[in-house]
Structure 1
Amino acid sequence: MDRLDMLRTFVAVADNASFAEAARRLRISPTAASRAVAVLEASLSTVLLRRTTRSVRTTAEGAIYLDKCRAVLADLDDAALALRGDAATPGGTLVVTAPVTFGRLHIVPIVTAMLRAHSTLRVELTLVDRVVRLVDEGIDVAVRIGDLSDSALYALKVAEVRRILVASPRYLAVHPAPAGVAGLHGHSLISFDELDRTQEWRFGSSGKPAIRVGPRLIVNAADAAISAAIDGLGIAHVLSYQALDAISSGQLVTLLDDLAPPPIPVHLIYQANRRTSVNVRAFNDAARMHFGRLDLSGRLTTASTRGKRKIALTTAIGGKRPLVRGRT
C-alpha cells in the first residue's frame, strides 16, 4: 500500500472510529487497514490513533495530522478533476449532511437524481439535527437552516422557510383560533425542541413580541410535532417546510400568519478548497434547480406564479459568496 492509500486509510479509520468499518468502506481487510495505519505511524514516529477494545480515537497529534490529511486529499482530488476541465463529470465520493426532516424531504431526492445521472458517483448522506463541523467530520457540503455567523466557509442560499403555527381543523372546531399572540396562553401548545430550546416564541418583523410558553407536549422530532397537531392535540410551532404536505392536504392550517417573524434562509455551505470540486458544483446546481421549483414558506406555488417565483429565486440565490455571517 503506497503512502497516499495509507493517508486515505487513516482518514477513514478516524472518521468511522473503527478499523472494521473503515476497511468495509475502502473494500480492504481490517488487517490491511490496521497494518497501513501502523506503517504510517512508524514512518512518522508518532502515535496517531489511540486504540482500546471499545473505541478508536485520534491522539492530539493525530487530530492535527488528520486535518492536514483531509486538506491534502481534497486538493489532490480537485486537481485530478480540474485536469479533466469542463468535461469532468461527478465521480468518487460526495459527503453531505442535512437536518433530518429537511434532508428526507429535499436532499434525498437531489442525491437520488444525481446517483441516477452519474454512475461513478457515491454519496454519503448524514441526516442529523445538530451542527456538524465540516473539517472535523470530512463533510463536503452541509445544509444550514438559519442565519450564519462569521466563517471562512462559502455559502450558497437556495431557499427560505418560515416559523409557523399550525393546528388541525378538528382542534380549531373545539378551540377557536387565537386572535393574537396573547391568546396562545389559552391553548394546548406543541413544541419542537430543536426550534424552541428556550421555549420562547417570537413574532413580528423584529422578533417582538416574544412570549414564554408552557407546552403540553415537547418533542425532539418535527414529524412527531406535526403528527400530534394533525391528531388534534393543539397548536404546533414548526418550520414551514416540515408541515407543507399537511397544509397542502388540508390536515393543518396556519395561524397568526400576519405576525410571523422574518423568513429563515437555507444555505449550502462548504470549505473554500471545495469550491472547484466537480461533485460540489454538481450538487449545488442540482439543489438550485430543485429549490427553484418550490416555495417552502407554507404558501403553495401555483402554476401561474411558478415562473415568476423561479426568476426571483434565481436572482436571489444565483451566486456563491464567502460567508459574511456563518456558523460552522
Structure 2
Amino acid sequence: MLKLDAIAGFVAVAESRSISAAARRLRLSKSVVSARLADLEQTLGTSLLHRTTRKLSLTEDGAAFLERATRILHEVEAATSELAERRGELVGPLRISAPVTFGRMHLGPALYPLLARHPRLELTLELDDRRVDAAADGYDAVVRHGVLDDSRLVAWHLAPSQRLLVASPDYLARHGTPHDLETLGRHRGIFYLNRGAADWRLQAPDGPVSVQAATALRVNNGDLSRDAAIAGLGIALLPSFIVGDALLAGSLHRIDVGALPAPESLYVASPVGRRASAKLRALVDCLRQAIGDPPYWDAFRRIDAPSS
C-alpha cells in the first residue's frame, strides 16, 4: 500500500536532486528518507531514481510518477487546508524564502502575530540572498526585492522600494558632499559583492549612467554595508528598508546627485500553477498590513519633506 509520507519523501528528493537536501527540507534524517524511498520503490516494483556517487536523476518511471505524485500532495494539502478554512484556521506547512537583511529586520516581526493567531500553521522561513528556484527548491513562496523577471512565478506586490545613496555625517564632513555625478565618482564606495563592478548604476534624467569609484569595501550583506557606511568608510547605495532607521536617527544622510536607480518593488511570488492557498493569502495580507502604505521604514521622508 502506498504511504503518503513515502510519496512526500520521493517528491522532495526528486525536486532537490539530493537525499541530504530532502532530509533537511523534511526535517528528517537521511536514513529515514532513504528507507521511505526504498519502501516506495519496492511497493511500486520499479526504480524511480538513478543513483551514482555524484548525483541522483529520475528514471523514466520516476519522471512519470513525479508528476502525479506532486499533484497528489498538492491535492491532499489543499483538502486539508480547505477543511481548516471552514473553521477559520490556517493549518499545515508553509515554506518561504526571503533575503537575509529584509527577513531579519522586517519579515520575522511581521509574521509573529500571524503565527500566534494560528498555532497549527507550520512556518519554515529560510533566509538566503541567492535567487532560489521556488519550484525546484520546494518553496511555497519567496519574498523578493527588485524586478519580477521570472515567467514561472506569479507575484503579489507588497511595497515600493527605492535604493538611496547614503553616507555618515562624519564621512561627509571629512570628504565633502557630492552634488553631481562627477563629484560622486571621486568618493569611496561600499559595493555589493555579487554585482561584480565597483560602480553605482543610476538613472539620470537623460538615461542610465554608471559611476565608478574607489572601493572602500565589497560585501554581500546589506546589514554590513549599512554599518560600514555608518562607520564612515564610504558611500553606499542601499534600499530604504535597510537604511530608513539610520536616516531617521541621523547616523546616515541622503546624498542627492540628481540620479537614483529605477524604482523597484518588494513582492511575494509563488510558482505558476500553484493554488493560492488561504495560508499564502494570509501571508500576503499580513505583510501588507505590517508594512503599511507608505512603508513604515520610509518615515524619514517626512523629515525631508518641505514644510508648507
**TM-score scaled to structure 1, two decimals?**
0.79
Q: CA RMSD in A?
A: 3.1
Gaps of 5+ in 1: 306-328
Aligned position for 1:149: 149
2:296 is aligned with 1:287: no
In 2, distance between residues paired with 1:169 and 1:64? 62
CA separation of 1:204/1:120 partners in 2, compared to 1, >3 Å: closer, same or farther? same
Aligned position for 2:235: 235
CA separation of 1:207/1:31 partners in 2, compared to 1, >3 Å: closer, same or farther? same
2:89 is aligned with 1:105: no
Give the CA deviation at 1:102.
Answer: 0.9
Give the CA deviation at 1:23.
Answer: 8.7
2:203 is aligned with 1:213: no
Name whichever of 259-268 and 16-25 sits farther off: 16-25
In 2, distance between residues paired with 1:216 and 1:63? 50
Aligned position for 2:196: 197
2:57 is aligned with 1:59: yes
- Between the two proteins, what is the percent identity of the paired residues? 33
- Between the two proteins, the alignment pairs up a number of residues equal to 299
CA separation of 1:218/1:59 partners in 2, compared to 1, >3 Å: closer, same or farther? same
Task: Tell me the secondary structure at the aligned position of residue 209 of structure 1.
Answer: strand
**TM-score scaled to structure 2, two decimals?**
0.84
In 2, distance between residues paired with 1:111 and 1:207? 39
Structure ranking higher on relative contact order (CA contacts 8 Å, 6+ apart) = 1
Aligned position for 1:313: none
In 1, distance between residues paired with 2:35 and 2:176? 68
In 2, distance between residues paired with 1:190 and 1:6? 49
2:47 is aligned with 1:36: no
In 1, distance between residues paired with 2:285 and 2:104? 19
1:163-194: CA deviations, max 9, x gaps?
21110001111111012011112211111224
Task: Tell me the secondary structure at the aligned position of residue 135 of structure 1.
Answer: coil
1:27-79: CA deviations, max 9, x gaps?
6x765543321121231512426365xx8x53133577556533431232113
Could you say which structure has the higher strand fraction? 2
**Is contact 2:187-2:213 (8 Å) kept?**
no
2:179 is aligned with 1:179: yes
Aligned position for 1:309: none
**Is contact 2:180-2:256 (8 Å) kept?**
yes
**Is contact 1:162-1:298 (8 Å) kept?**
no
Task: Tell me the secondary structure at the aligned position of residue 216 of structure 1.
Answer: strand
Gaps of 5+ in 2: none
1:98-122: CA deviations, max 9, x gaps?
1110111122123322221111111
CA separation of 1:39/1:257 partners in 2, compared to 1, >3 Å: closer, same or farther? same
Name whichever of 1-10 and 183-192 sits farther off: 1-10
